Chain A
Amino acid sequence: MEFLNYFSNVFTFGNILILILGTVGGLLLGAAPGLSPTMAVALLIPFTFKMSPEQGLIMLGAVYTATVAGGAISAILLKIPGAPANIATVMDGYPMAQKGKSKEALHYCFISSFVGGIIGILVLIFFTPLLANVALKFGPSHMFWIAIFGVTVIATLDSNSIIKGLFSGALGLWLATIGYDSVLGVERFVFNPIFSGGINIIAALVGLFAIPQVLSMLEKKQDLSDQFQMEKKSLFQSMKYNLSRFKALTIGSITGVIIGLIPGAGGQIAGLVSYDQIKKVSKNKENFGKGEPDGIIAAESANNAMVGPSLVPLLTLGVPGSPTAAVLLGGLLIHGMFPGPNLFTIYAETTWTFINSLLVAQFLMLIFGLYISGLAKYVIKTPVNYMAAAITILAIFGTYSVQHNFADVMVMLFLGVSMFFLSKFGFTAAPIVLGLILGPIAETNFSQAKIIADTQNGIFDYLTIGPLNLTIISLCILSIIYGLFTEIKKKTNDKDQ
């Protein structure tokens, strides 16, 4: 209960002000397409130079928490996930908004994020030393399969055709190999110097999600104000319903906690895996993808439950549990704080104040998030031409701001326009994006596994032997079989109709 000794530190005027600013700013940044939590935290790190270590970390932690939840706003209203963690939220959030239930969807999003977030932070507080040992058990072969599992899950979930989904995932993984090989340092597929650094994930994320959506909006000339009718839904009703969805909340929170502990996995996997799990156990499987609240509840509770545990391996071992946690590591280091036991001894006051502030940030995120969801109608009522122009400009500036590189803007626009045409061929963006995100994790671990395996019985044995390997491989196969089964069933139903 050491954390209680430092709880009052959070409630100083300066710290609370920073928490509120970080939360509101994080919600708005998260809602802006392209401004991901990783990017928001990275962009804010220079601002924390002048702050005390405590205040700097509070700011970064609040922004991290709020951007993950805020990303759901554009995911639900515009079908553009504000962050990779919100990819799963699009699947049922946007259909709900189309049915005029955007306010209700946003209520579920913030309430579930709050529940998942609180559970995640409590795990961070109480189970840090214990869970750090679990994370240590993941070797290169397990990490490789986890990355492949992430791709197969999205390929089977976010696509009408499993073959196209898997092809898109493999394409994303292939695109991630452009540039220098991280283990051997060999340059690959750099047909133009702009690709020497590989494809920037933010550029790909913005391009693949934002630009096709804009093109689709302009092609159909769909006026969002006509499309959506904001029905009145009281917060109390939403809260009552949300909390009654115990199964979705539990699956989401537990999945988020487990995924958060796995180094490098991140919120996108947490959201997608929990969505997949709740879909499998739900009695209303056919409603998923058409506006099923459980889809939002599971995905949002998972991506926020991931936040706390993703800091467990970071604070104890220096191994970030998510890409944003990796950026946050930079925030720790610039203040001379190195991860490890010292954080809980020499820097105990700063560390526990930071962790406690994450708990308070969840409450602020709920309050401000619900308030902002009430203002969602203003986003919806924006005429399509203004929306298209604003998203395009924001996407261009957002992409450029990551590395100050014009090539990223070129890649973003190229990928975006290509994705629009690919979508007409029946492909979806999510598997490509996830392939791009997980590509470096998969390849680096594959290369490391190969180096280790060369001294043992070969790569095949190394990747397939052991209970953890076999469990993850089985999950990959099950995910594909389930996808095939669903696709065949859907086609049979369509034929019958």
Chain B
Amino acid sequence: MIQTFITSFKLKNTYRVNSIIYSIKGFPIINKILPNSLYKNKALKIFGNIISILWEIVSTFLWKGLYVWLVLGSMTFAYNTNQVNTFLHIFVFSTLIGGILNTYLLNPTKDKYYAIILMNMNANTFALTNYFYSMLKLIIGLMPFTIIFGLLLKVPLLICISMPLFVAMIKIIVIGIFSIPDFKKNKVVKNENLPTKKVWILLAALAILGFGLPYLGIVINQIIYIVLFLISIILGIIALKEIIAFKDYKKIYKVLLTNENVYAVQNANSTQNIRANIAKNIEYDGEITSDKSGFAYFHELFVKRHSKLLTKSVKKQTMVIILIFIILFIVVFINPSMKEGLNSIPLTYLPYFVFIMYILNRGTTITQAMFMNCDHSMLTYRIYRTPKIILGVFKERLKTLITLNLLPSVAIELGLMILLYITGGTNNMLNYLILFVSINAMSIFFSVHYLVMYYLLQPYNINTEVKSSTYPVVQAITYFICYYMINIRMTTFVFGIATIIFSILYSLISLILVYKLAPKTFKIRI
């Protein structure tokens, strides 16, 4: 039994360490320096194992601490009810929710999939040893925090100690009283990561009872908690017997550990899934056609057949922006004292709009659609990669991207100009012009930026997997720079002119780079 546990623990460590090495090797320069033999480097493996064990210890406490602090601790103070009772009330209901959502034993995780399905380990021993280890980790990890936070709130010590046991018992009851008998009877086992409608309704009801009732002044008290705890112990013991006596974990895991279940979360975000979703967005009614020729024809058909995907959210964004400005205008008319404050938005908050324009820009989604539904196949044809075609299609795409993104930016700049005018205007009339040009410049900058990055760093391979680490790094840097702009306070006159000059220079330089490099860089990654 112990041997099985040790083997499964080693297995988990091995793929944790390998995953770390794999991610590191994804970076372009590091990739060249580090050899493939890295995976068998003993020192690195030992180092990886130490990190992995440290992570095991940290994770034992970290999430539980955050849970007690954020969910129980902070929410307790949100109500006007007795703090001890509220603490226990929220704890009981969130424990019930947690018991349904994460049982550990029937959570279709990769470590179970590798060990039981791929490596054919003894399922009963694996299940029970790992389950008891998880329960032990849960109790040890949770107890310090229930004691510390509980005592701070003046919850009696014995109750504080009982709380982690209650959590473990609820998880055990869910398995032993519900899941295993259900499997015995119906041969079904539900993936707890993909709850059914009924389960969602039950979870919502528990959440309402847990977090809603205290608003009405209704909370459980210590006696109710103690009764619930005692019931959980009795039922828990019955359930535990069932769990230990059950000998068909192999069967249960064969049903549970399917590729769809194990990779459910991963699949939802996988490029294959995104590709399938984007493919669904192709619109065709036979009448959509084009009278252009060559790559202009090709691109126009792409745009027309993806018009919803390309324009839907841009239109929505524009509507929301118009609505926000209409509300602001109404506020100004109803309450003229707000004028002064609102006047500062167009005059000093322009840097903030860099972040807004970043959020609004559809560059990532559009280039993703371009790859998934078009370039993924076309780049396999050498003729499509000739400079003439690449740059021809690039030009058409740039025009489309700029036009699409200009729609919300025109709404913003007109809104800002009107807002500036009705809130008292400005001494420098140039500010109107600068607002108009700089917002457009930002929008064009982001359109150019995303398309140029796509052409220079094309990150996908033939299986639509992201194979470039540089691309996400550039995306992250873009995000942080734009986010940093929120903190800058500068007059529209200065920042606007700087933005316009920067956007023009950036666009020129990047377009030159695309013309020089894209015929070499724009290809499927191998």
A binds B: no
Interface set of A (CB-CB < 8 Å, partner B)? none
